[in-house]
Structure 1
Amino acid sequence: MANQERVPRVLILGAGYAGLYAACRLQSKLRSDEASVTVVDPRPYMTYQSLLPEAGAGTVEPRHVVAPLRALLPKCQVLSGHVIDIDPEGRSVTVRMPDENIEHLGYDLLVLSVGSVSKVFPVPGLADQAVGFSTLEEAVYLRNHVLSRLDQAASTLDPERRAKFLTFMFVGGGFAGIEALGEIEDMARFAVRRYYPAIDPSEMRWVLVEAADRIMPEVSRSLADYAVEVLRQRGIDIRMETMVDSLEDGHVALSDGTEFDAGTVVWTTGVEPEPVVSTSVLPQDSLGRVACLPSLQVEGWPAIFAAGDCAAIPDPAGDEPDATCPPTAQHAVRQGKLVADNIRAVLRGKRIRRFTYRSPGSVATLGLHQGVAEVYGWRLKGWPAWALHRAYHLSQLPTANRKARVLADWLLDAGFPRQAVALGELHAPRREFVEQARR
């Protein structure tokens, strides 16, 4: 027991791209007597977020875009809990467990990879009317919600209610918003044409609102303009340099003076670090991310490493001298691996390394057989970009199990029509039983 207490404790907060890859590398590279590794995350699985739009559209089974942590990390202790406080001086972390019990976990080396949450603004009605698109639960909910709106529209004789049910607005034109819009609109259009003869596809109204003067800043202007053209050809109303003033009671008021009722509002205006970061005493940059050294150590706290969306890590490949790494999966995966290598170096008394990485480019889907890609200076559009998007993400999925299941989903989707049915009961499974029991 005494020997066990002397084993250094490595605590990893968050099991997204950075945290999971750090844990996987540590369990494969460290001996059991070198350190114990504990991973804390609110969910017992890692979500491959790049495939969330396809999970939401039904081309991929939602369970196939998640990887169970306990299956991937058999040599680590995995705890399901939400981090609510970090005490770097006492080397302790406070965690709220699923049963609301509070636990205090000590550490010798800490990895802060808690990720991010949706960035929101004080828009009246936002909390009541909108849904985000950064988790698997939100993707599944949005799919069911959109299909249920089609059911309601086909079942009402009130033209105003019908128009509201068939109006869908996405706010935010980054990768997340554009990919979600492209896939969900594609799914809804297919469903209407095949299963809803009472609805004309032209009755659906799709609106994208973006505050900047362009969409998808991650790619060149020419590709972004191409994406706008493709979406507008599909009848999507794209409004740039426009903001949302109000969403109260589903009535949308935009900064350009436009007003209309929308039955669906999807909020994808970007992300910000988890609140536990902003409330901590750790140094932060102007965006609220933890300020890090090139070694991925937090400034002033050598026992704490940070990676992923919550970390401001110097980017040697950036255009500006003070550039930091963008919040992409490509960077997070490589940061997680370097964190593990540097922790191993610290434990073994060796030199740690600096983070260096230059992204080869970006790929994005705009719906079935449509996409844009910019890789190593090459720009692709349409089907080639869409195919590259699928090939790249299939190669990056963790485990052969996930790869095989997603590939099978795609092959089945190519040979059989999509299943377009709303399973709203998933979000309130006990409602019917409770109503019956209370009679």
Structure 2
Amino acid sequence: MAPVKIVIVGSGFAGVECARYLERKSRRGEVEVTLVAPDDGSLYLPLLPQVASGVLTARAVTVSLRRVLRRTGIAPGMVVGVDPAARRCVVRRMSGLEYAIDYDHLVLTPGSITRIMDVPGLKEYGFGIKTLAEALYLRDHVLRQLDLAATIDDEAERRERLTFVAIGAGYAGTETTAVLNRLTKAAARQYFPRLDPAMVRWHLITHGERIMPELGERLAENAKKLLAQREIEFVPGASAAEVTERSVTLTTGRVIPTRTVLWSAGVAPSPLAEHLGATTVKGRVVTEADLTVKGLTCEWACGDAAAVPDLTKGGDALCAPTAQHASRQGRHLGRNLLATLRGRERTPYQHRDMGMVVDLGGWDALARPLGIGLRGFPAQVVARSYHVLALRTFVARLRTAFDWTLHALAGDDFLRMGYTDRIAHTIGDFEQTGHYLSAAEVAAALSRTSESD
């Protein structure tokens, strides 16, 4: 019999873990797996703040798909539409041309994007921290502000360039603020004699009252104290009301003059989830506990774009969109998919959260493994050990450990690569949020590809 065609959308934790499981456990000739992704690398998102701060290089957090997946076909491009009735999906190549891929089973793991609120000026002047390009661009931009501030005499403009505002005090926002605050103050102190390090100001804005509520009340308070010691101003109960080239206005009415507004106020599921035609909850595709898409027969979903029931909590609780759940869901989906092909019973996904780790730069870290609160050096050991073990290849682990060691011994060169001088920086540009097709456009694209075939 011909192998079953399985198409996996996305190269994040869930998609790659599903493909790896299928490679290891399927019989030769049983399945033909194709993974569709914009490039041939899998990004380890939790370490992006350290790329932005220069502690890690880009290659340390990117794993080659071809090194990890030996029997899976890699199709460069983006799935921009799906027709479940025809079991076909539309893929847009990097060149802009579109073609169709047939499937017997479709695995949706497109991940998430930055949740952009309807804030005037945010799309034009805000910065994200969701992709590798955004992390590299943000580092360049921040260092560029110091370069420019050191060469101007206008006191008001200098203060604007040395003031940085982060909106969102979740995991990504807090970590990025902490490590970039450390970077900018060290750079001002060591390499810019005309700048007073005290003029470098960071503000962390959050709509709630706590930093990283997932940590628990005690560790969240510890995080707040650490940020205060670094002279980072924590502003609770506020968000951005308007962003301009030279300021941000908060919902409280306060205006902060700045040239840098980092937006990390949550994530949203990939827009592809809404284009499938399945039932969604806040943009996430609703799945059964066995990870099949509710109401469809040959479509599966997991990861950030899927609303997976959390059986450990009961009721209407859904699994949090975390890397921990995504990787385990990917493996479980692969197991259930093979069970389906072999006529066996599928099992529900169930996993109790193991806790989280937060690296605030230097020896400052917080961790909550298995509900046990840690801070300082023990937390940093747990955090970095977890990240190293979570990386998928020995090469990636070695690069990451080497970069950490080299940075600890040699420090930072505060080198700016020049990205900010030439390319657009909007969140939408980096994350390609407006590329998905409507149902009518999917039908038209499939018709065009059929004619070309």
Contact 1:22–1:340 (8 Å) recurs in 2: yes
Alignment of 1:163-312 (within 5 A): 163-285=159-281, 287-312=282-307
- The aligned length equals 423
- The residue aligned with 1:314 is 309
- The residue aligned with 1:424 is 418
Contact 1:129–1:250 (8 Å) recurs in 2: no
Q: 1:425 Cα deviation (Å)?
A: 4.4
TM-score (norm 1): 0.94
* 1:235 counterpart letter in structure 2: E
Cα RMSD for the two superposed structures? 1.3
Unmatched 5+ stretches in structure 1? 430-439
Contact 1:252–1:261 (8 Å) recurs in 2: yes
For residues 38-72 of structure 1, give each alpha carbon's deviation from its aligned partner in whole angstroms, at most 9, with x where no partner exists. Answer: 00011221100111111111111111100111222
TM-score (norm 2): 0.91
2:391 matches 1:397: yes
* 2:233 counterpart letter in structure 1: D
For residues 232-269 of structure 1, give each alpha carbon's deviation from its aligned partner in whole angstroms, at most 9, with x where no partner exists. Answer: 12111111111211112332111222112211111101
* 2:383 counterpart letter in structure 1: H
For residues 278-308 of structure 1, give each alpha carbon's deviation from its aligned partner in whole angstroms, at most 9, with x where no partner exists. Answer: 12211111x1100011101111113111110
Alignment of 1:3-402 (within 5 A): 6-285=2-281, 287-318=282-313, 320-402=314-396
Contact 1:141–1:427 (8 Å) recurs in 2: no
- The residue aligned with 1:432 is none
- Partner of 2:334, secondary structure, is helix
Q: Distance in 1 between matches of 2:158 and 2:210?
A: 31
- Partner of 2:70, secondary structure, is coil
Q: 1:111 Cα deviation (Å)?
A: 0.5
* 1:293 counterpart letter in structure 2: E
Q: Distance in 2 between matches of 1:57 and 1:243?
A: 24
* 1:251 counterpart letter in structure 2: S
Q: Distance in 1 between matches of 2:361 and 2:405?
A: 16
Q: 1:426 Cα deviation (Å)?
A: 7.6
Q: Distance in 1 between matches of 2:368 and 2:421?
A: 38
* 1:202 counterpart letter in structure 2: A
- Partner of 1:297, secondary structure, is coil
Q: Distance in 2 between matches of 1:250 and 1:310?
A: 35
CA 400–186 in structure 1, closer or farther in 2 if over 3 Å, else same: same
* 1:257 counterpart letter in structure 2: G
Contact 1:9–1:107 (8 Å) recurs in 2: yes
Unmatched 5+ stretches in structure 2? 424-453
Deviates more, 1:397-406 or 1:212-221: 212-221
Contact 1:369–1:387 (8 Å) recurs in 2: no
Q: Distance in 2 between matches of 1:173 and 1:145?
A: 21
Q: Distance in 1 between matches of 2:375 and 2:210?
A: 18
Contact 1:85–1:94 (8 Å) recurs in 2: yes
For residues 314-340 of structure 1, give each alpha carbon's deviation from its aligned partner in whole angstroms, at most 9, with x where no partner exists. Answer: 11122x511010011111000000111
Contact 2:245–2:259 (8 Å) recurs in 1: no
Contact 2:141–2:420 (8 Å) recurs in 1: no
Q: Distance in 2 between matches of 1:148 and 1:386?
A: 30
Q: Distance in 1 between matches of 2:315 and 2:222?
A: 31
Following TM superposition, the consecutive aligned residue runs of length 4 or more in structure 1 with deviations greater than 4 angstroms are none
- Partner of 1:388, secondary structure, is helix
* 1:200 counterpart letter in structure 2: D
Percentage of pairs with the same residue = 35
Q: Distance in 1 between matches of 2:237 and 2:208?
A: 5
Q: Distance in 1 between matches of 2:105 and 2:182?
A: 46
Q: Distance in 2 between matches of 1:352 and 1:419?
A: 53
Q: Distance in 1 between matches of 2:244 and 2:376?
A: 38
Q: 1:84 Cα deviation (Å)?
A: 1.1
Q: 1:427 Cα deviation (Å)?
A: 6.5
Q: Distance in 2 between matches of 1:163 and 1:75?
A: 55
* 1:378 counterpart letter in structure 2: I
For residues 98-142 of structure 1, give each alpha carbon's deviation from its aligned partner in whole angstroms, at most 9, with x where no partner exists. Answer: 111111111001100000111011111111111110111111111
